[in-house]
Structure 1
Amino acid sequence: MIKTKVYHISFHAAHNLSCLFFWGCNFSCKGCLRRAEPLDCHFPGTKNPKPFSPTFLTLDEITSALKKAKPKIIVFEGWEPTFDQNLSEITKRLHHELGTWNYLLTNGYFLPELEGMDEVKVSIKAISSEIHREYTGKSNKRVLENFQKLYQSKIKLSAETVFIPGFMDKEEVGKIAKFIASFDKEIPLRIDAYWPIVSKRWRAPTTKEMKEAVEEAKGYLVNVSFLNGSEEVQGEVIRLI
Protein backbone atom coordinates (compact mmCIF):
# COMPACT_ATOMS: atom_id res chain seq x y z
CA MET A 1 0.00 0.00 0.00
CA ILE A 2 1.47 3.31 -1.13
CA LYS A 3 0.58 6.27 1.06
CA THR A 4 0.51 9.76 -0.42
CA LYS A 5 0.20 13.41 0.62
CA VAL A 6 -3.01 13.77 -1.42
CA TYR A 7 -5.94 14.84 0.77
CA HIS A 8 -8.50 16.22 -1.68
CA ILE A 9 -9.63 15.51 -5.27
CA SER A 10 -11.96 17.65 -7.37
CA PHE A 11 -13.42 17.23 -10.86
CA HIS A 12 -14.11 20.07 -13.32
CA ALA A 13 -16.77 18.70 -15.66
CA ALA A 14 -16.47 21.41 -18.33
CA HIS A 15 -12.79 20.64 -18.86
CA ASN A 16 -12.88 16.88 -18.09
CA LEU A 17 -10.15 17.63 -15.56
CA SER A 18 -9.38 16.48 -12.03
CA CYS A 19 -7.19 18.24 -9.47
CA LEU A 20 -5.14 16.37 -6.88
CA PHE A 21 -4.33 18.48 -3.83
CA PHE A 22 -1.12 17.65 -1.95
CA TRP A 23 -0.47 18.63 1.66
CA GLY A 24 2.74 20.34 2.78
CA CYS A 25 5.21 22.74 1.20
CA ASN A 26 8.87 23.76 1.33
CA PHE A 27 7.94 27.46 1.01
CA SER A 28 6.12 29.76 3.45
CA CYS A 29 4.53 32.17 0.98
CA LYS A 30 2.93 35.14 2.70
CA GLY A 31 -0.04 35.14 0.32
CA CYS A 32 -0.62 31.39 0.02
CA LEU A 33 -4.27 30.71 -0.87
CA ARG A 34 -4.16 27.24 0.69
CA ARG A 35 -3.74 28.73 4.14
CA ALA A 36 -7.20 30.26 3.80
CA GLU A 37 -8.81 27.62 1.59
CA PRO A 38 -7.35 24.09 1.60
CA LEU A 39 -10.01 22.78 -0.81
CA ASP A 40 -10.62 23.65 -4.45
CA CYS A 41 -11.40 27.37 -4.48
CA HIS A 42 -13.80 26.92 -7.40
CA PHE A 43 -16.47 25.26 -5.25
CA PRO A 44 -19.60 27.44 -4.93
CA GLY A 45 -20.79 28.81 -1.60
CA THR A 46 -19.35 27.88 1.77
CA LYS A 47 -16.09 26.04 1.58
CA ASN A 48 -14.32 24.15 4.31
CA PRO A 49 -14.74 25.02 8.01
CA LYS A 50 -11.66 25.87 10.04
CA PRO A 51 -9.58 24.34 11.39
CA PHE A 52 -8.89 21.84 8.62
CA SER A 53 -7.40 18.42 9.36
CA PRO A 54 -6.39 16.46 6.24
CA THR A 55 -6.94 12.75 5.72
CA PHE A 56 -4.30 11.34 3.39
CA LEU A 57 -5.19 8.95 0.59
CA THR A 58 -3.47 5.81 -0.62
CA LEU A 59 -2.56 5.46 -4.28
CA ASP A 60 -5.27 2.81 -4.64
CA GLU A 61 -7.88 5.23 -3.26
CA ILE A 62 -6.76 7.95 -5.66
CA THR A 63 -6.88 5.60 -8.63
CA SER A 64 -10.31 4.26 -7.69
CA ALA A 65 -11.81 7.76 -7.37
CA LEU A 66 -10.36 8.89 -10.69
CA LYS A 67 -11.49 5.78 -12.55
CA LYS A 68 -15.08 6.71 -11.66
CA ALA A 69 -14.70 10.30 -12.87
CA LYS A 70 -12.64 9.37 -15.97
CA PRO A 71 -10.82 12.71 -16.43
CA LYS A 72 -8.56 13.24 -19.42
CA ILE A 73 -6.34 15.71 -17.57
CA ILE A 74 -5.03 15.55 -14.00
CA VAL A 75 -3.57 18.65 -12.38
CA PHE A 76 -1.13 18.05 -9.52
CA GLU A 77 -1.31 21.02 -7.18
CA GLY A 78 -1.52 21.90 -3.52
CA TRP A 79 0.39 23.34 -1.41
CA GLU A 80 3.34 21.59 -3.21
CA PRO A 81 3.10 18.21 -5.03
CA THR A 82 6.87 17.62 -5.11
CA PHE A 83 6.77 17.50 -1.29
CA ASP A 84 5.34 13.97 -1.73
CA GLN A 85 8.14 11.40 -2.07
CA ASN A 86 5.72 9.10 -3.93
CA LEU A 87 4.80 11.65 -6.61
CA SER A 88 6.42 9.66 -9.41
CA GLU A 89 4.58 6.50 -8.32
CA ILE A 90 1.30 8.40 -8.63
CA THR A 91 2.04 9.85 -12.07
CA LYS A 92 3.23 6.53 -13.49
CA ARG A 93 0.20 4.62 -12.16
CA LEU A 94 -2.27 7.15 -13.54
CA HIS A 95 -0.49 7.24 -16.89
CA HIS A 96 -0.56 3.45 -17.12
CA GLU A 97 -4.09 2.78 -15.86
CA LEU A 98 -6.03 5.88 -16.93
CA GLY A 99 -3.95 7.27 -19.80
CA THR A 100 -4.28 10.79 -18.40
CA TRP A 101 -2.38 13.93 -19.33
CA ASN A 102 -0.51 14.73 -16.10
CA TYR A 103 0.09 18.43 -15.40
CA LEU A 104 2.30 19.55 -12.50
CA LEU A 105 1.98 22.94 -10.79
CA THR A 106 5.11 23.52 -8.71
CA ASN A 107 7.22 26.19 -7.02
CA GLY A 108 10.23 24.64 -8.74
CA TYR A 109 12.34 24.29 -5.61
CA PHE A 110 12.58 20.52 -6.00
CA LEU A 111 12.92 18.83 -9.40
CA PRO A 112 10.94 15.57 -9.39
CA GLU A 113 11.32 12.51 -11.57
CA LEU A 114 9.50 13.41 -14.78
CA GLU A 115 8.43 9.92 -15.86
CA GLY A 116 4.64 9.93 -16.12
CA MET A 117 4.50 13.74 -16.20
CA ASP A 118 3.43 15.48 -19.42
CA GLU A 119 3.51 19.17 -18.57
CA VAL A 120 4.97 21.43 -15.88
CA LYS A 121 4.04 24.95 -14.82
CA VAL A 122 6.59 26.61 -12.54
CA SER A 123 5.53 29.43 -10.24
CA ILE A 124 8.38 31.96 -10.35
CA LYS A 125 7.65 34.43 -7.59
CA ALA A 126 10.56 36.81 -8.23
CA ILE A 127 13.93 37.18 -9.91
CA SER A 128 15.19 39.61 -7.26
CA SER A 129 16.59 37.32 -4.57
CA GLU A 130 15.65 39.57 -1.64
CA ILE A 131 12.02 39.83 -2.78
CA HIS A 132 11.77 36.07 -3.31
CA ARG A 133 13.23 35.33 0.11
CA GLU A 134 10.96 37.84 1.84
CA TYR A 135 7.83 36.39 0.22
CA THR A 136 8.66 32.65 0.36
CA GLY A 137 11.30 32.31 3.07
CA LYS A 138 13.67 30.64 0.59
CA SER A 139 16.27 31.54 -2.01
CA ASN A 140 15.21 31.45 -5.66
CA LYS A 141 18.53 30.00 -6.86
CA ARG A 142 17.26 26.42 -7.10
CA VAL A 143 13.99 27.54 -8.70
CA LEU A 144 15.78 29.31 -11.53
CA GLU A 145 18.25 26.46 -12.00
CA ASN A 146 15.45 23.90 -12.10
CA PHE A 147 13.50 25.95 -14.63
CA GLN A 148 16.51 25.69 -16.93
CA LYS A 149 16.72 21.94 -16.34
CA LEU A 150 13.04 21.53 -17.13
CA TYR A 151 13.50 23.48 -20.35
CA GLN A 152 16.43 21.28 -21.29
CA SER A 153 14.36 18.15 -20.58
CA LYS A 154 12.01 19.14 -23.47
CA ILE A 155 8.89 18.61 -21.34
CA LYS A 156 6.03 20.98 -22.13
CA LEU A 157 6.79 23.99 -19.93
CA SER A 158 5.05 27.17 -18.81
CA ALA A 159 5.31 29.62 -15.92
CA GLU A 160 3.15 31.71 -13.63
CA THR A 161 3.73 34.47 -11.13
CA VAL A 162 1.80 36.60 -8.65
CA PHE A 163 1.41 40.34 -9.18
CA ILE A 164 1.45 42.38 -5.96
CA PRO A 165 1.32 46.18 -6.37
CA GLY A 166 4.26 47.88 -4.70
CA PHE A 167 6.07 44.62 -3.98
CA MET A 168 6.14 42.05 -6.78
CA ASP A 169 5.15 44.74 -9.25
CA LYS A 170 5.27 45.08 -13.03
CA GLU A 171 9.02 45.71 -13.02
CA GLU A 172 9.54 42.37 -11.28
CA VAL A 173 7.14 40.74 -13.74
CA GLY A 174 9.30 42.15 -16.52
CA LYS A 175 12.40 40.57 -14.98
CA ILE A 176 10.62 37.21 -14.81
CA ALA A 177 9.52 37.49 -18.45
CA LYS A 178 13.06 38.40 -19.52
CA PHE A 179 14.44 35.38 -17.66
CA ILE A 180 11.93 33.04 -19.34
CA ALA A 181 12.60 34.57 -22.76
CA SER A 182 16.31 33.82 -22.36
CA PHE A 183 15.31 30.20 -23.01
CA ASP A 184 12.37 30.62 -25.39
CA LYS A 185 10.16 33.67 -25.92
CA GLU A 186 7.21 31.38 -26.72
CA ILE A 187 7.07 29.80 -23.23
CA PRO A 188 3.65 30.84 -21.83
CA LEU A 189 3.47 33.05 -18.74
CA ARG A 190 0.32 33.59 -16.68
CA ILE A 191 0.15 36.47 -14.20
CA ASP A 192 -2.16 35.93 -11.23
CA ALA A 193 -3.61 38.78 -9.20
CA TYR A 194 -2.74 38.77 -5.52
CA TRP A 195 -5.70 38.03 -3.24
CA PRO A 196 -5.36 39.70 0.20
CA ILE A 197 -7.00 36.75 1.97
CA VAL A 198 -4.19 35.61 4.26
CA SER A 199 -2.11 38.78 4.53
CA LYS A 200 -3.57 42.29 4.44
CA ARG A 201 -0.08 43.73 4.03
CA TRP A 202 -0.73 44.30 0.32
CA ARG A 203 -3.82 45.15 -1.70
CA ALA A 204 -5.21 43.38 -4.74
CA PRO A 205 -4.22 44.90 -8.09
CA THR A 206 -6.73 46.60 -10.34
CA THR A 207 -7.56 45.23 -13.78
CA LYS A 208 -5.71 48.21 -15.27
CA GLU A 209 -2.59 47.32 -13.29
CA MET A 210 -2.86 43.68 -14.37
CA LYS A 211 -3.05 44.71 -18.03
CA GLU A 212 -0.02 46.95 -17.57
CA ALA A 213 1.90 44.00 -16.10
CA VAL A 214 0.88 41.88 -19.09
CA GLU A 215 2.17 44.55 -21.48
CA GLU A 216 5.45 44.69 -19.55
CA ALA A 217 5.86 40.92 -19.95
CA LYS A 218 4.91 41.06 -23.62
CA GLY A 219 8.02 43.12 -24.19
CA TYR A 220 9.84 39.79 -23.89
CA LEU A 221 7.31 36.98 -24.35
CA VAL A 222 4.75 36.10 -27.02
CA ASN A 223 2.19 34.25 -24.89
CA VAL A 224 1.18 36.20 -21.77
CA SER A 225 -2.18 36.01 -19.97
CA PHE A 226 -3.61 36.99 -16.59
CA LEU A 227 -6.21 35.99 -14.00
CA ASN A 228 -7.68 38.71 -11.79
CA GLY A 229 -9.82 36.40 -9.65
CA SER A 230 -13.20 37.50 -10.98
CA GLU A 231 -13.40 34.98 -13.82
CA GLU A 232 -16.62 32.97 -14.00
CA VAL A 233 -16.30 29.26 -13.24
CA GLN A 234 -17.28 27.16 -16.24
CA GLY A 235 -19.46 24.14 -15.58
CA GLU A 236 -19.86 22.10 -12.42
CA VAL A 237 -17.00 21.51 -9.99
CA ILE A 238 -17.45 18.30 -8.00
CA ARG A 239 -15.71 17.11 -4.85
CA LEU A 240 -14.62 13.50 -5.44
CA ILE A 241 -12.85 13.24 -2.07
Structure 2
Amino acid sequence: MSCHGCLCKEGIYDHLLKENRLGNLPQTENAFKPRRLLELDEVLARLDELKPQKVFLTGEEASLDPNYAAITRAFHERYGCKNVLYTNGFKMPALGDTDAVEVGIKAISEELHQWYTERSVEPIKQNFIRYAHSEVKLTAASILIPGLVEIDEIERIAQFIAGVNPDIPYFVLPYFPAGNNSWRKTSPYEVAEAVERVSRYLTNVSGCQGVEQEILHEVERVV
Protein backbone atom coordinates (compact mmCIF):
# COMPACT_ATOMS: atom_id res chain seq x y z
CA MET A 1 0.00 0.00 0.00
CA SER A 2 1.04 3.64 -0.33
CA CYS A 3 -0.02 5.24 2.95
CA HIS A 4 0.45 9.00 2.77
CA GLY A 5 1.43 9.26 6.43
CA CYS A 6 3.77 6.24 6.68
CA LEU A 7 6.82 6.67 8.94
CA CYS A 8 8.84 4.99 6.20
CA LYS A 9 8.61 8.29 4.33
CA GLU A 10 10.67 9.90 7.09
CA GLY A 11 13.51 7.47 7.63
CA ILE A 12 14.99 4.03 7.26
CA TYR A 13 14.93 3.10 10.94
CA ASP A 14 12.48 0.92 12.86
CA HIS A 15 11.26 3.09 15.72
CA LEU A 16 10.23 0.05 17.77
CA LEU A 17 13.84 -1.05 18.26
CA LYS A 18 15.29 0.18 21.55
CA GLU A 19 18.52 1.37 19.93
CA ASN A 20 16.56 3.49 17.46
CA ARG A 21 15.04 5.84 20.03
CA LEU A 22 12.74 8.46 18.58
CA GLY A 23 14.63 11.60 17.70
CA ASN A 24 18.09 10.14 18.29
CA LEU A 25 18.86 9.12 14.72
CA PRO A 26 19.13 11.23 11.58
CA GLN A 27 16.12 10.92 9.31
CA THR A 28 15.64 11.85 5.71
CA GLU A 29 12.73 13.07 3.66
CA ASN A 30 13.65 10.47 1.05
CA ALA A 31 14.21 7.17 2.84
CA PHE A 32 16.23 4.97 0.51
CA LYS A 33 15.85 1.22 0.37
CA PRO A 34 18.91 -0.89 1.25
CA ARG A 35 21.33 -1.69 -1.56
CA ARG A 36 20.68 -5.39 -1.06
CA LEU A 37 18.70 -7.69 1.21
CA LEU A 38 20.29 -10.27 3.48
CA GLU A 39 20.15 -13.91 2.45
CA LEU A 40 18.44 -16.25 4.92
CA ASP A 41 21.73 -17.76 6.07
CA GLU A 42 23.02 -14.26 6.86
CA VAL A 43 19.89 -13.51 8.88
CA LEU A 44 20.26 -16.76 10.80
CA ALA A 45 23.94 -16.07 11.49
CA ARG A 46 23.00 -12.77 13.13
CA LEU A 47 20.12 -14.26 15.08
CA ASP A 48 22.35 -17.10 16.32
CA GLU A 49 24.11 -14.52 18.48
CA LEU A 50 20.80 -13.42 20.02
CA LYS A 51 19.09 -16.79 20.50
CA PRO A 52 15.69 -15.04 20.16
CA GLN A 53 12.58 -16.10 22.04
CA LYS A 54 10.44 -13.94 19.75
CA VAL A 55 10.96 -12.77 16.19
CA PHE A 56 8.92 -9.86 14.85
CA LEU A 57 8.34 -9.83 11.11
CA THR A 58 7.80 -6.24 10.14
CA GLY A 59 9.46 -3.64 7.92
CA GLU A 60 7.20 -2.17 5.27
CA GLU A 61 5.23 -5.36 4.58
CA ALA A 62 6.74 -8.71 5.53
CA SER A 63 3.79 -10.71 4.16
CA LEU A 64 4.87 -9.83 0.60
CA ASP A 65 8.14 -11.76 0.91
CA PRO A 66 7.80 -14.81 -1.37
CA ASN A 67 10.01 -16.74 1.10
CA TYR A 68 7.90 -15.87 4.14
CA ALA A 69 6.92 -19.50 4.83
CA ALA A 70 10.52 -20.74 4.58
CA ILE A 71 11.80 -17.92 6.78
CA THR A 72 9.29 -18.49 9.57
CA ARG A 73 9.82 -22.25 9.40
CA ALA A 74 13.58 -21.76 9.75
CA PHE A 75 13.05 -19.53 12.81
CA HIS A 76 10.80 -22.11 14.46
CA GLU A 77 13.11 -25.03 13.75
CA ARG A 78 16.32 -23.25 14.75
CA TYR A 79 15.18 -21.26 17.79
CA GLY A 80 11.80 -22.60 18.89
CA CYS A 81 10.76 -18.94 19.06
CA LYS A 82 7.41 -17.22 18.63
CA ASN A 83 6.98 -15.63 15.21
CA VAL A 84 4.90 -12.45 15.24
CA LEU A 85 3.73 -10.82 12.01
CA TYR A 86 2.89 -7.12 11.80
CA THR A 87 0.87 -6.59 8.61
CA ASN A 88 -1.51 -4.26 6.82
CA GLY A 89 -3.61 -7.33 6.07
CA PHE A 90 -3.85 -6.77 2.33
CA LYS A 91 -2.07 -10.06 1.57
CA MET A 92 -2.16 -13.22 3.69
CA PRO A 93 0.94 -15.43 3.77
CA ALA A 94 1.14 -19.09 4.73
CA LEU A 95 0.64 -19.21 8.49
CA GLY A 96 1.99 -22.66 9.37
CA ASP A 97 4.90 -21.19 11.36
CA THR A 98 3.32 -17.91 12.49
CA ASP A 99 2.20 -17.68 16.12
CA ALA A 100 0.63 -14.22 16.29
CA VAL A 101 -0.56 -11.57 13.85
CA GLU A 102 -1.37 -7.91 14.34
CA VAL A 103 -3.34 -6.31 11.52
CA GLY A 104 -2.97 -2.56 11.23
CA ILE A 105 -6.33 -1.35 9.94
CA LYS A 106 -5.82 2.11 8.45
CA ALA A 107 -9.52 2.88 7.93
CA ILE A 108 -12.71 0.92 7.39
CA SER A 109 -14.60 3.37 5.18
CA GLU A 110 -13.86 2.40 1.59
CA GLU A 111 -13.45 5.93 0.20
CA LEU A 112 -11.13 7.02 3.00
CA HIS A 113 -9.06 3.83 2.82
CA GLN A 114 -8.78 4.12 -0.96
CA TRP A 115 -7.56 7.71 -0.70
CA TYR A 116 -5.08 7.12 2.13
CA THR A 117 -3.56 3.81 0.98
CA GLU A 118 -4.46 3.69 -2.75
CA ARG A 119 -5.98 0.26 -2.12
CA SER A 120 -9.44 -1.12 -1.30
CA VAL A 121 -10.20 -2.12 2.28
CA GLU A 122 -12.23 -5.16 1.21
CA PRO A 123 -9.30 -7.65 0.96
CA ILE A 124 -8.18 -6.54 4.43
CA LYS A 125 -11.61 -7.16 5.90
CA GLN A 126 -11.80 -10.61 4.34
CA ASN A 127 -8.27 -11.54 5.46
CA PHE A 128 -8.98 -10.26 8.97
CA ILE A 129 -11.90 -12.68 9.17
CA ARG A 130 -9.64 -15.49 7.92
CA TYR A 131 -7.04 -14.64 10.57
CA ALA A 132 -9.76 -14.70 13.22
CA HIS A 133 -10.71 -18.23 12.19
CA SER A 134 -7.12 -19.47 12.06
CA GLU A 135 -4.93 -20.81 14.86
CA VAL A 136 -2.84 -17.64 15.26
CA LYS A 137 -3.28 -15.15 18.09
CA LEU A 138 -4.89 -12.11 16.46
CA THR A 139 -4.76 -8.46 17.49
CA ALA A 140 -5.61 -5.26 15.64
CA ALA A 141 -4.36 -1.70 15.75
CA SER A 142 -5.22 1.63 14.15
CA ILE A 143 -3.54 5.02 14.06
CA LEU A 144 -5.69 7.97 15.10
CA ILE A 145 -4.76 10.75 12.66
CA PRO A 146 -6.28 14.15 13.58
CA GLY A 147 -7.97 15.61 10.53
CA LEU A 148 -8.10 12.30 8.67
CA VAL A 149 -8.73 9.10 10.63
CA GLU A 150 -10.79 10.69 13.40
CA ILE A 151 -12.38 9.10 16.45
CA ASP A 152 -15.60 8.37 14.56
CA GLU A 153 -13.62 6.29 12.05
CA ILE A 154 -11.80 4.48 14.86
CA GLU A 155 -15.24 3.68 16.27
CA ARG A 156 -16.35 2.25 12.92
CA ILE A 157 -13.23 0.06 12.82
CA ALA A 158 -14.03 -1.21 16.32
CA GLN A 159 -17.57 -2.04 15.24
CA PHE A 160 -16.20 -4.11 12.36
CA ILE A 161 -13.82 -5.97 14.70
CA ALA A 162 -16.66 -6.58 17.18
CA GLY A 163 -18.69 -8.13 14.38
CA VAL A 164 -15.88 -10.65 13.89
CA ASN A 165 -15.09 -11.22 17.58
CA PRO A 166 -15.46 -8.60 20.36
CA ASP A 167 -12.65 -10.26 22.35
CA ILE A 168 -9.95 -9.48 19.76
CA PRO A 169 -7.50 -7.03 21.42
CA TYR A 170 -7.48 -3.60 19.78
CA PHE A 171 -4.85 -0.87 20.15
CA VAL A 172 -5.33 2.82 19.35
CA LEU A 173 -2.02 4.40 18.37
CA PRO A 174 -0.97 8.05 17.97
CA TYR A 175 0.11 9.57 14.69
CA PHE A 176 3.61 11.02 14.33
CA PRO A 177 3.88 13.52 11.44
CA ALA A 178 5.42 11.93 8.37
CA GLY A 179 5.31 12.61 4.66
CA ASN A 180 4.16 15.75 2.88
CA ASN A 181 0.95 16.55 4.75
CA SER A 182 -0.41 18.86 7.44
CA TRP A 183 -1.70 16.34 9.98
CA ARG A 184 -0.50 17.01 13.52
CA LYS A 185 0.60 14.58 16.20
CA THR A 186 -2.23 12.92 18.10
CA SER A 187 -2.70 14.18 21.66
CA PRO A 188 -2.91 11.79 24.64
CA TYR A 189 -6.42 13.12 25.32
CA GLU A 190 -7.60 12.10 21.85
CA VAL A 191 -6.21 8.60 22.29
CA ALA A 192 -7.90 8.30 25.70
CA GLU A 193 -11.23 9.47 24.27
CA ALA A 194 -10.98 6.98 21.40
CA VAL A 195 -10.20 4.13 23.80
CA GLU A 196 -13.19 5.04 25.94
CA ARG A 197 -15.46 5.24 22.89
CA VAL A 198 -14.48 1.91 21.33
CA SER A 199 -14.59 0.09 24.66
CA ARG A 200 -18.35 0.08 24.16
CA TYR A 201 -17.88 -2.54 21.46
CA LEU A 202 -14.73 -4.46 22.40
CA THR A 203 -13.66 -6.14 25.63
CA ASN A 204 -9.90 -5.54 25.34
CA VAL A 205 -8.93 -2.02 24.22
CA SER A 206 -5.83 -0.01 25.05
CA GLY A 207 -4.03 3.00 23.68
CA CYS A 208 -0.48 4.23 23.32
CA GLN A 209 -0.41 7.96 24.07
CA GLY A 210 2.98 8.64 22.53
CA VAL A 211 5.20 8.36 25.60
CA GLU A 212 8.63 7.09 24.58
CA GLN A 213 8.57 4.11 26.94
CA GLU A 214 5.22 3.00 25.50
CA ILE A 215 6.51 3.25 21.95
CA LEU A 216 9.71 1.34 22.68
CA HIS A 217 7.97 -1.59 24.32
CA GLU A 218 4.70 -1.51 22.39
CA VAL A 219 5.85 -4.47 20.35
CA GLU A 220 5.49 -6.72 23.43
CA ARG A 221 1.72 -6.43 23.44
CA VAL A 222 0.92 -9.07 20.84
CA VAL A 223 2.39 -12.10 22.59
CA distance in 2, matches of 1:220, 1:30: 29
What is aligned with 1:46? Answer: 25
1:200 maps onto 2:181 in alignment: yes
What is aligned with 1:32? Answer: 6
CA distance in 2, matches of 1:193, 1:30: 15
Q: CA deviation at 1:223?
A: 1.1
Instruction: Determine which of 170, 177, 184 is the counterpart of 2:151.
Output: 170
The more displaced of 200-209 and 80-89 is 200-209
Which structure shows the higher strand fraction? 1
What is aligned with 2:196? Answer: 215
CA distance in 2, matches of 1:210, 1:48: 26
What is aligned with 1:61? Answer: 42
CA distance in 2, matches of 1:53, 1:149: 31
The more displaced of 105-114 and 175-184 is 175-184
2:210 aligned counterpart, secondary structure: coil
Instruction: Mark the CA change 1:36 to 1:48 in structure 2 (over 3 Å): closer, same or farther.
Output: closer
Q: Give the residue type in structure 2 aligned to 1:165.
A: P
Q: Is the 8 A contact 1:164 1:202 kept in 2?
A: yes
Q: Give the residue type in structure 1 aligned to 2:204.
A: N
TM-score by length of 2: 0.88
What is aligned with 2:142? Answer: 161
Q: CA deviation at 1:48?
A: 5.7
2:90 aligned counterpart, secondary structure: coil
Q: CA deviation at 1:51?
A: 5.2
The number of residue pairs the alignment matches comes to 209
When the two chains are superposed, the root-mean-square deviation of aligned CA atoms in Å is 1.7
Q: Give the residue type in structure 1 aligned to 2:185.
A: A
1:226 maps onto 2:200 in alignment: no
Q: Is the 8 A contact 2:107 2:154 kept in 1?
A: yes
What per-residue deviation string (whole Å, max 9, x for no partner) do you get for residues 64-116 of structure 1?
A: 11110112111111100011111111000000011110000000000110011
CA distance in 2, matches of 1:137, 1:53: 21
CA distance in 1, matches of 2:154, 2:101: 20
Q: CA deviation at 1:200?
A: 3.0
Q: Give the residue type in structure 1 aligned to 2:166.
A: K
Q: CA deviation at 1:46?
A: 2.1
What is aligned with 2:163? Answer: 182
Instruction: Determine which of 106, 109, 132 is the counterpart of 1:128.
Output: 109
Q: Is the 8 A contact 1:128 1:172 kept in 2?
A: yes
Q: CA deviation at 1:205?
A: 1.7
Unaligned runs of 5+ in 1: 1-26, 236-241
Q: How much identity, in percent, do the aligned residues show?
A: 36
CA distance in 1, matches of 2:182, 2:212: 24
Q: CA deviation at 1:37?
A: 2.0
Q: Is the 8 A contact 1:39 1:47 kept in 2?
A: no
